[in-house]
Amino acid sequence: MQVLYRSTRGTDKAYTASEAILKGLSEDGGLFVPDRIPKLDLPLSALAGMTYQETAYEVMRRFLTDFTAEELKQCIENAYDEKFDTPKIAPLVEKNGTFYLELFHGATIAFKDMALSILPHLLTTAAKKNQVKNEIVILTATSGDTGKAAMAGFADVPGTRIIVFYPKNGVSPIQEKQMVTQKGKNTYVVGITGNFDDAQTGVKKMFNDKELAAQLDAAGFQFSSANSINIGRLVPQVVYYVYAYGKLLAEGKIHEGEKINVVVPTGNFGNILAAYYAKLMGLPLGKFICASNENKVLYDFFSTGCYDRNRAFMLTNSPSMDILISSNLERLIYRIAGNDPEKNSRLMEGLAKDGKYEITDEMKQNLQEFYGNYATEEETAGAIRRLYEETGYVMDTHTAVAEAVYEKYRQETKDETKTVIASTASPFKFTRSVMNSIDGKYDALSDFELVDQLSRIAGVRVPKAIEEIRTAPVLHDRVIAAEEMPQAVKEILGV
Ligand SMILES: *Cc1c(COP(=O)(O)O)cnc(C)c1O
């Protein structure tokens, strides 16, 4: 049975998966959601023996129903190959009785690679299927990791260009170096003198700008999105939760049907929503523990039912989660509103106009599987230091936010259900914050001395992604105000 994609705001038509991937965002400003969540109609025991690629095929074919088996298998093969430094793709590591699902073994050593290594293939396949003649321009706002992962995926892919906007002072030095050294004739990187939300809002505005779209079309271009609002990113993220469950079964850590909890360090709400979709497919998941840093909008939302972005934006040591507007939450809101686009639209209007909205008690009842909490900067650093001292394992700052929140959850609830923490970045990507958490004495070292020191203390080889940027020349140095984004895009494309 075909799965079609509809807007969470309801006034657009239904699209096939490939059309929805091409469009990225719906015309009415809403996000595409599947009109039904397909069931994972496989015995769970079958998952235990599957490779990552096989699991990806079983999950994705159920969502992307207009892709042929051959097309989808080709996309999966091209994505999950030697770009990853382990054939397991997403290894599950047990420390102190908790399972860390390492999602950072791809080209840019953050979890964005899990979806962004396949999105270019899904997108170019979708373009072929739909006879698209225009060159596809990927517009992306990044809090640090998406931009690099998207560029790594799209660099020199024929028929595509990619323009990335990042907050000039809102990413880690390694993240920035990774982006501004990006090669590829079709890649463009632009710094914004604002924060991530400014960049994201600017990108969304361009997507909704009909006049701009017409100008581009006349010049042979059309926009698409690599942000986590694209269902072509969301669907591949469902895969690793299913895969992790299979591995736990294979290793005899759980019995078939046993529920597990997941903890997800959250920013734009894409990763945790993918886990929720895995549960809706039938995977035995219990609680979704949503971990925030000091930008704790989601914690406040889960505790009060009021989403309110009117607050100071905090720059933290987990910059990929420095977000006050969690775009993908809209998909959850739509669902807990009983898939009612009107109810959802009213709330999103409130968010656009007043920066806030409040859900009804009835909707709140539908959020019981979620638990939200947050970690302060100190708690995050403490979590890194403690796990390192106890086990020798070094986490990155985002994973550490999840770890610290999980500790709070356990103390509050005494829930000892087996738990998977989504480990979203390599510690090598946030070396200074990580090493400072372990011992203040490291702060005197340079960025790359820290890299070598981390390699020594963790007993882990320096990832290729870091070795590559040690000496790479800066190729992108443009910085603009957020209002100038449309102008910059036109200049880049020569429109
Ligand atoms: C993007 C990112 C997150 C947040 O993921 P969302 O899907 O936006 O919630 C967390 N950690 C890291 C390292 C990231 O790159």
**Digit-coded pLDDT (tens) for 396-409:** 999 999 999 999 99
Question: What letter would DSSP give residue 181?
Answer: T
Ligand 1 nearest atom to the CA of residue 274, by list position: 7
Is 191 among the domain residues?
Answer: no
How much distance in Å is there from the Cα of 422 to the middle of ligand 1?
A: 10
The answer for residues whose C-beta is within 8 angstroms of residue 3's C-beta and 6 or more apart is 17, 34, 35, 36, 38, 62, 63, 64, 65
How much distance in Å is there from the Cα of 133 to the middle of ligand 1?
A: 33
Work out the number of other CB atoms within 10 angstroms of the CB of residue 206. Answer: 19
- Ligand 1 surroundings by CB, under 6 angstroms: 110-112, 145, 228, 265-271, 320-321, 398, 424-425
Q: Which CATH number characterizes residue 351's domain? A: 3.40.50.1100
| Domain count within the chain | 1
Is 86 among the domain residues?
Answer: no
Is 55 among the domain residues?
Answer: no
Nearest protein Cα to ligand 1, atom 2: 320
Tens of pLDDT along 418-463? 999 999 999 999 999 999 999 999 999 999 999 999 999 999 999 9
pLDDT of residue 166: 95
pLDDT of residue 450: 96
Is 34 among the domain residues?
Answer: no
The best mutation among 398, 399, 434 to test binding of ligand 1, ranked by most ligand atoms within 8 Å of the C-beta, falls on: 398
Nearest protein Cα to ligand 1, atom 1: 320
How much distance in Å is there from the Cα of 270 to the middle of ligand 1?
A: 8
What the block records as the tokens of 325 is: 């507007």
Question: What letter would DSSP give residue 148?
Answer: H
Is 211 among the domain residues?
Answer: no
How much distance in Å is there from the Cα of 266 to the middle of ligand 1?
A: 6
Query: What single-letter amino acid sits at 126?
Result: A
Q: Between the CA atoms of 313, 209, 23 and 165, what dihedral angle is there, to the nearest 10 degrees?
A: -40
Question: What letter would DSSP give residue 427?
Answer: G
Low-confidence ranges of the chain (pLDDT < 70): none
Q: What range defines the domain where residue 342 resides?
A: 92-106+233-459
Is 309 among the domain residues?
Answer: yes
pLDDT of residue 145: 84
The best mutation among 234, 396, 424 to test binding of ligand 1, ranked by most ligand atoms within 8 Å of the C-beta, falls on: 424
Residues tagged active-site: 112
Is 9 among the domain residues?
Answer: no
pLDDT of residue 29: 87
Query: Global pTM?
Result: 0.93
pLDDT of residue 353: 96
CA–CA distance, 281 with 297 (Å, rounded to integer): 28
Ligand 1 nearest atom to the CA of residue 143, by list position: 1
Ligand 1 nearest atom to the CA of residue 396, by list position: 13
Burial class (CB in 10 A: 0-12, 13-18, 19+), 444: exposed
Question: What letter would DSSP give residue 313?
Answer: P
Helices marked H in 326-430: 329-336, 341-354, 361-365, 377-391, 397-413
State the DSSP string of 201-264: HHHHHHHT-HHHHHHHHHTTEEEEE-STTSHHHHHHHHHHHHHHHHHHHHTTSS-TT--EEEEE
CA–CA distance, 364 with 336 (Å, rounded to integer): 8
